[in-house]
Each structure stands twice: as structure tokens, then as C-alpha cells.
């Protein structure tokens, strides 16, 4: 069927589809030989056993509808090449497979041709976003961030209130009434951008970071305008909003004149700003992007903080957030932190770039309809944690933390989930004891 034969509404959608697929995605679709090696590399397939969740199946679902309208064989002999019409049922399936995938890119390491499934899934999301098919809960998060400045719609008063409390905690912890959490400090070296969930639910990340900055005398600041480093439009597939959110951080860096954009325990915000933003915005960023784990590893290597591992005597393992390790390249840095901060550090198997995704990334954790699939998809992670014998799982991503906590409950794991920054801050030897 040529494009002109389909009804008008579908025609628009079909053209959208064409826009998203032409280019690098088309190349990947052509090359995928349907060998299925990716199946066992995907936590979603490993955890659910649902063939719809195989990375190649996602690509093929896209290929099937694309072929139908954009290739000769698909128009002449749809059955032979397995081409499918783009109808409601197919749109629903595309939505499921695209927003349940966590974009972890583990399959790219196992594909004989290195095909990047996340690129394809991102293009399906971009297409669905324009066709008005973002899962509502995810869309709400994105809209909050876009319209109110942060995903949880935290008001300015609420934010200042929380910071005041964090500052008191900091002063108690370091026993120094002068200790502050700087706000909007012009010309600070580092602009530290946390996440809304850290402000509301995991405040220890911010307090611990402040303690460490206090110890090394770091020149840093928080911003009262931009205290959300996350970019949920990256997840929803809304490209214009995504670029705008990245641009806001760039603007804030410029306003405060900071040299380093320091992102917190959050995987995707690091990947977005470190690797993607310059390409989205078509310009190099005039500052350095770092993750807090990277900075802490630097402090430790340079001897700027001294740690006493006996403070953390339990068996601790590290879960590699996909956006920090496989996609972000921070493989050694968290290990430098944990080796120094914990007495008994053990690795999961596999780990580093081959680590299993926890199943909670890519925005799926915000979508209640997908809860069951998400928890099933976390099974490989839960099993490897169980096998490691660890009592504590450390990680450096809010999203992973939330998922790991739920996995511990679902799979009966007797582990606690903590952030790397907290472990380092706890193990820090105060100045007077340093010798």
C-alpha cells in the first residue's frame, strides 16, 4: 500500500514514522539479521520471558510498519517480508515495548553488529510523542519539569525550607555553625545540581555532599532556579522540551559563571549533559560536566579526603547504573570510592559495562501500568545481588535506588540500598583526627 492509500489520520502518523526512521535507524533495521543473540542480553526478556521484549523484536516491530509504507518489497509482498499495517493494535504494542525498555544499551555489547537498540527505541518514543502516545504518568512528570522547573513541582519556599533544614543537619554533622550550603553563589567553581527526589526523599545525598565539600573546602553552590538535573523529556521522547531542559542548565551555568556542572547521584542527567547535550544543542558546552562520584574519586586519589573503611564493615557491592557505567564510562571511579570507604567490597557478576540493568531506568518507574513488568525485569539483578552475598548494595542513581529497594522487597533480599556519596561521607575522617 502506498502512503496515499491510507486514511488521512494514519497518513500523518505514517509520515511521522518515516521522519523518525530515516537515517541511522534505517541502517540498523537493514542490518539486523534476526539472529536473536540479543535476547539473552536483555533484562526485560530474561526477567519476563516475553518474546515481545527481545531487543530485536522491538526493532522488528518498527521495521514491520516501516517496510509496509517505505519499501518496495513491503508494498508488493508484505507477507513475505513480514510487513504490518500501522493500526491501533500496533501503536499500542509500540508504546509498550518502547516505554518498557530502559534504554540501557546492554544488547549493543552482545549484538554481532553492535546495533544500538536504544537509538531505535528512542526513535519509536520520539514518534509516539509526536503522535500523542506518551504514557500519561510519564508525560505528567515531564510537564511538571517543563512548566514548573522540576519533576515534583517543588515550590521555591519548599525548596528553601528544605535547604535550611539540610544546612542545620550539615552544621550539626561537622560541628561548625559557620558551615553553609551556598545558594546562587556567583563565580563558584562548581554548580551542584541535585534532583527533586533527593530534595524530598533522599536528602542525605545532598547533606553528605555538603559535608564532603566542607571538608575539602570546595568552592561550590546550589542554584535556587535549577535544582533539578533530570531530563524527563529525554524519556518521554519530546525532543524540543528535552533540548530546552538541557539549555536551561547551560543558561544557569552561564548566569552563575561556574566552571563545572556537577551532577548528583542520577544516571541519565549525567549522560544527557556529558554526552548528548552538545549534540542536541549543536554547540560545545563552555564548561566541564562531572558526576559527583567522579569528583569524590578525584578527592580520594588526590588525598584531599581520608577515609576509614572500618566505619562501613558490612559486605558491600556496587550496582552499576547503566547511564554512569556502560553509557557514561564511569567504571573505575565508583570503585575507587567504595574500595576506600568500605572494608569488604565485592563485585556483582557480571559488572562494569556488562552489568545487568536494574530494570527501573528510562522513565519506566514513573508509569504505574508497567510496575509488574518492571519488577519482573529486575529479576536478573536481584539474583546476582543474592549470589554476591552482599548485605549492602551501593549505587549512584536515584532511579536505580528506588528500583533496588522494590526489588529487595519483591525478591526477599536482605539488603539495604545506599548511595556512594553517603558511604564516603560516613567514612570520612574528621580533620582533627587526621594525622
Partner 1 sequence: MGYWLAWFVSNVLPFLTAAVFFGGVGYRIFQFWRRPRAAVPLTVPPRQRSLVRTLREIVTEIVSFRRVFRGSKPLWIVSWLFHLSILVFVLGHFRLFLHLDWFWNLLRLTLEQVDLLALIGGGTSGTLFMLGLVTLFMRRLRMPVRSLSVPSDYLLLLLLLAIAVSGNYMRFLMHIELEPYQAFFSNLFSLRLGVPVLNPVFLLHFLLVQVFLIYFPFSKLVHVIGGALTLKWTLR
Binding site for partner 1 (CB under 8 A): 23-24, 26-28, 30-41, 45, 51, 54, 56-57, 60, 73, 79-82, 105, 108-116, 119, 275-276, 279-280, 325-329, 331, 352-353
- 429: exposed, middle or buried (Cβ count in 10 Å: 0-12, 13-18, 19+): middle
Residue 202 CA to residue 127 CA, distance in Å, equals: 34
27 or 155: CB nearest partner 1: 27
CB of 243 to partner 1, least distance (A): 11
> DSSP state, 344?
E
6 or 57: CB nearest partner 1: 57
CB-CB contact of 60 with 34 (8 Å): yes
Sign of CA dihedral 355, 357, 358, 362: positive
2 or 279: CB nearest partner 1: 279
> DSSP state, 70?
H
Question: Which run of H or E residues covers position 317?
Answer: strand 315-318
CB of 164 to partner 1, least distance (A): 39
Between CA 156 and CA 165, with CA 162 as vertex, the angle to 5 degrees is: 145
CB-CB contact of 146 with 186 (8 Å): no
Which of 66, 224, 209 lies closest to 156, judged by CA?
224
Residues 6+ apart with CB under 8 A from 49: none
- 9: exposed, middle or buried (Cβ count in 10 Å: 0-12, 13-18, 19+): exposed
Q: What is the dihedral of CA 240, 102, 290, 144, to 10 degrees?
A: 50
Neighbours of 426 (CB within 10 A): 17
**Structure-block grid coordinates of residue 43:** 533484562
217 or 284: CB nearest partner 1: 284
**Structure-block grid coordinates of residue 167:** 544546612
CB of 96 to partner 1, least distance (A): 15
CB of 79 to partner 1, least distance (A): 7
Q: How far is CA 126 from the centre of its chain?
A: 17
120 or 215: CB nearest partner 1: 120
CB of 41 to partner 1, least distance (A): 6
Residue 2 CA to residue 104 CA, distance in Å, equals: 35
Residue 303 CA to residue 93 CA, distance in Å, equals: 53
53 or 142: CB nearest partner 1: 53
Residue 343 CA to residue 100 CA, distance in Å, equals: 37
26 or 238: CB nearest partner 1: 26
20 or 211: CB nearest partner 1: 20
CB of 336 to partner 1, least distance (A): 16
CB of 109 to partner 1, least distance (A): 6
Which of 162, 171, 173 lies closest to 196, judged by CA?
162
CB of 262 to partner 1, least distance (A): 18
Please spell the DSSP secondary structure of 271-284, one letter per residue. HIIIIIHHHHTTS-
CB of 313 to partner 1, least distance (A): 31
30 or 92: CB nearest partner 1: 30
263 or 392: CB nearest partner 1: 263
CB of 73 to partner 1, least distance (A): 7
275 or 411: CB nearest partner 1: 275
355 or 418: CB nearest partner 1: 355
CB of 162 to partner 1, least distance (A): 33
CB of 57 to partner 1, least distance (A): 6
Which of 342, 330, 345, 258 lies closest to 297, judged by CA?
330
Residue 431 CA to residue 369 CA, distance in Å, equals: 50
Amino acid at each position: 500500500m502506498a502512503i496515499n492509500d491510507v486514511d488521512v489520520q494514519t497518513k500523518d502518523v505514517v509520515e511521522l514514522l518515516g521522519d523518525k526512521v530515516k537515517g541511522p535507524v534505517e541502517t540498523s533495521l537493514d542490518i539486523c539479521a534476526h539472529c536473536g543473540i540479543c535476547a539473552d542480553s536483555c533484562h526485560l526478556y530474561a526477567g519476563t520471558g516475553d518474546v515481545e521484549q527481545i531487543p530485536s523484536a522491538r526493532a522488528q516491530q518498527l521495521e514491520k510498519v516501516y517496510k509496509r509504507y517505505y519499501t518496495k518489497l513491503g508494498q508488493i509482498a508484505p507477507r513475505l517480508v513480514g510487513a504490518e499495517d500501522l493500526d491501533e493494535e500496533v501503536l499500542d504494542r509500540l508504546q509498550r515495548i518502547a516505554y518498557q525498555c530502559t534504554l540501557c544499551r546492554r544488547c549493543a555489547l552482545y549484538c554481532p553488529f553492535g546495533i544500538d537498540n536504544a537509538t531505535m527505541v528512542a526513535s519509536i518514543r520520539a514518534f509516539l510523542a509526536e503522535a500523542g502516545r506518551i504514557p500519561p504518568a510519564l508525560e505528567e512528570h515531564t510537564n511538571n519539569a517543563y512548566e514548573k522547573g522540576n519533576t515534583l513541582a517543588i515550590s521555591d519556599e519548599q525548596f528553601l525550607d528544605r535547604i535550611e533544614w539540610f544546612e542545620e543537619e550539615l552544621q550539626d554533622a561537622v560541628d561548625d555553625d559557620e558551615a553553609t550550603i551556598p545558594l546562587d553563589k556567583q563565580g563558584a567553581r562548581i554548580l551542584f545540581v541535585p534532583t527533586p527526589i533527593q530534595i524530598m526523599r533522599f536528602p542525605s545525598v545532598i547533606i553528605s555532599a555538603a559535608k564532603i565539600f566542607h571538608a575539602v573546602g570546595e568552592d561550590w553552590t546550589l542554584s535556587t532556579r535549577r535544582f533539578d538535573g533530570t531530563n524527563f523529556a529525554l524519556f518521554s521522547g519530546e525532543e524540543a522540551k528535552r533540548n530546552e531542559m538541557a539549555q536551561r542548565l547551560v543558561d544557569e551555568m552561564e548566569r552563575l559563571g561556574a566552571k563545572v556542572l556537577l551532577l548528583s547521584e542520577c544516571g541519565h542527567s549525567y549522560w544527557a549533559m556529558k554526552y548528548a547535550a552538545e549534540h542536541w544543542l549543536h554547540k560545545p558546552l563552555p564548561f566541564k560536566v562531572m558526576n559527583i562520584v567522579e569528583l569524590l574519586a578525584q578527592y580520594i586519589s588526590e588525598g584531599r579526603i581520608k577515609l576509614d573503611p572500618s566505619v562501613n564493615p558490612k559486605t558491600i557491592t556496587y550496582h552499576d547504573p547503566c547511564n554512569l557505567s556502560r553509557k557514561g564510562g564511569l567504571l573505575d571511579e565508583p570503585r575507587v570510592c567504595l574500595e576506600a570507604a568500605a572494608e569488604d567490597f565485592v563485585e556483582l557478576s557480571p559488572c562494569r559495562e556488562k552489568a545487568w540493568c536494574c530494570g527501573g531506568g528510562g522513565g519506566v518507574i514513573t508509569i504505574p501500568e508497567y510496575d509488574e513488568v518492571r519488577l519482573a525485569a529486575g529479576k536478573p539483578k536481584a539474583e546476582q545481588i543474592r549470589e554476591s552475598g552482599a548485605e549492602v548494595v551501593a549505587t549512584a542513581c536515584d532511579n536505580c535506588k528506588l528500583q533496588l529497594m522494590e526489588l529487595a522487597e519483591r525478591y526477599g533480599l536482605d539488603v539495604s540500598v545506599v548511595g556512594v556519596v553517603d558511604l564516603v561521607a560516613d567514612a570520612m575522617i574528621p580533620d582533627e583526627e587526621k594525622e
